[in-house]
Structures are given as structure tokens and as C-alpha cells.
Structure 1
Amino acid sequence: MKGRPPSWNPFAGLYPHTWTEVIEFGSKGRLGMPAAVRRRLTWFESATAQGLLATLEPNGRAKLDAWEDHGNEVVQLVRKAIDAASSGKSDMALAALDRYLHISVEDNGRLVAPSNMVSHLDPTGTGKARVVVRDDELWLWSEIKWEAERKDRLALLHRQ
């Protein structure tokens, strides 16, 4: 991993492909991706040109992937599914609109999140979300959901 780990987290270097911290929504739904996040993702810097595919999960999470690698493929799969459907085409289109988003990435690593993604991740308006990096995957979590599962994660430390 390039760069030094943040001094506030003495465990940042234990498993360099994992990271989490709270980030705040800025004006117009902007989310600044911390340098610690960008350093851990081999694909993030190249994703700024075409942006990201956000897949909203029903549990207050969103998985982010490079658009170039995943976005066009998802669009084609959804298009084929809608074209092949004998009924419910508008319902399928609404489901796709509700689940998949194209996210812009500014040169400084800030994401520009659409309002429906902000609402999904921050349903109570705290202005915060949780960024999670695991083995080259990038996730955004509702901070409420993250806190609700904290007890289970902490129990992992005591099982060893």
C-alpha cells in the first residue's frame, strides 16, 4: 500500500485491503473519498473518466464498481430482460431505475451522488454514510445499518 496509514487508526496496516470510515455528504450529494480508500482500490483512479456503477441493495448499502467494467454490461442485461418480458416491462424498468445508478467522479476523488442514492444511504438526514473497502470492492453503507451490526462485528474479535 502506498502512503502512510492515518495516525488515528493504529490497525490500518494490519490488512491493507480493508478500510472503513464515516464520510459526510457535502453540497449537492458530493462524497469525498478519503485517500486511504483510493489507495486501497486498484481501479478507482481509472474510474474517474467514465464514473461508477452504483448498485443499491435493499439493506441500506450500495456497491460501487467501475462503470467501464460493469455499467454497460448491466445496461445490456436489463435491456434484454425488458425486451424479452411479455408483461411488466414498465415495472422492470422502474426496478432498474431504482437499483442502478451512474455516479460521476470528480478529479479530486469526490463522488456526485444522485438524490435517490443519498436518500437510500442517509434515510434520516444525518449527512453521513460509511465507506467500506474489502478486497478491492467499494461499498457505501447507511451509517444506521453499520451501527446496527457493530455488535456482531465486535464479537468476531472475542471469538479468536
Structure 2
Amino acid sequence: MTLSEIKSALTQVEEVKFTLPNGKQVPPHFHVTEVGNIQKHFIDCGGTIRKESVINFQLFTATDYDHRLSAEKLRSIIELSEEKLELEDLEIEVEYQDETIGKYGLEFQNGLFLLTITQTDCLAKDKCGIPQQKPKIRLSTLHAQENGCTPGSGCC
């Protein structure tokens, strides 16, 4: 989800609800404590220099149980961030403290903001020896095709 997509989604709800990948709700008294532009400049294991940029939201829950962040207020926080930080319309990454700080993607479905699982990956599989995934085939059909064998023919 990009910055423009979350702003659009916020016009469709009054209450902002985030759901973790395990189905657990982020407590309703959460705060958005940071909105930022995270830039990553790195070299992959194949020697290619890369740059990535994302918009980062940090969610935090405290003991102020009556706190509620309205959709309108979150939209105004985003708009202020766009103005002051000159943010581009980039993908959003969400940080949330559970057992450890987790990084999540973001989707919007049925009035809920869903924190989605993110994964690491090798960006240079061809250069660092990671084999590409082989296609899955049925061995019974492969054997019959290669040898022209049929069950009961005695060729096996």
C-alpha cells in the first residue's frame, strides 16, 4: 500500500484498526509515533549496489487506554509529514512492537488495515549459487515418458 492509497482508505473509515498477520488486533489505543522516509543504500551478495526507499509508520501502544486515533487525525499526520518531509508516494512499511520490533507490509480490506508478513530474499541468486526452484512434476508420468514404459510391461 502506498501513501496515496492509505489516504484514500482513510476516507472510507472513521475508526482506524490494525490487524496483525496472526489475526490479533493492535490495541485500539495505539499511537502513530513516527512517519518517515527510510532510505536504504546497500550492496547485495552479488556485488550490485542498490537503493530502496519506503515510507515508515511506527505504531506504539502505551498505558493511555482512552486514546483513539481517528482516521481524520491520521490523515492530517500523513499530510503534515508529506509537507514537512517532502514525501513521495512510496510503499508503506509499518513497525510494531510485539515480542520484538516487527516490520510489516500494509493492506486495506473490509475497513481494516492489515499488517502483512514481509520476508527477506536473496537479490542475486544467479551470482551466489542459490538454485532456482525446480518445477514440480509427477515421477510416474516422467518415467513413463522417458522410457515408454507402461505399468505391467516389465521394463521397470
Answer 1 or 2: which has greater strand percent: 2
Q: Same fold (TM over 0.5)?
A: no
Between structure 1 and structure 2, the one with the greater Rg is 2
TM-score (norm 1): 0.26
Answer 1 or 2: which has greater helix percent: 1
Q: Relative CO higher for 1 or 2, CA cutoff 8 Å, sep ≥ 6?
A: 1
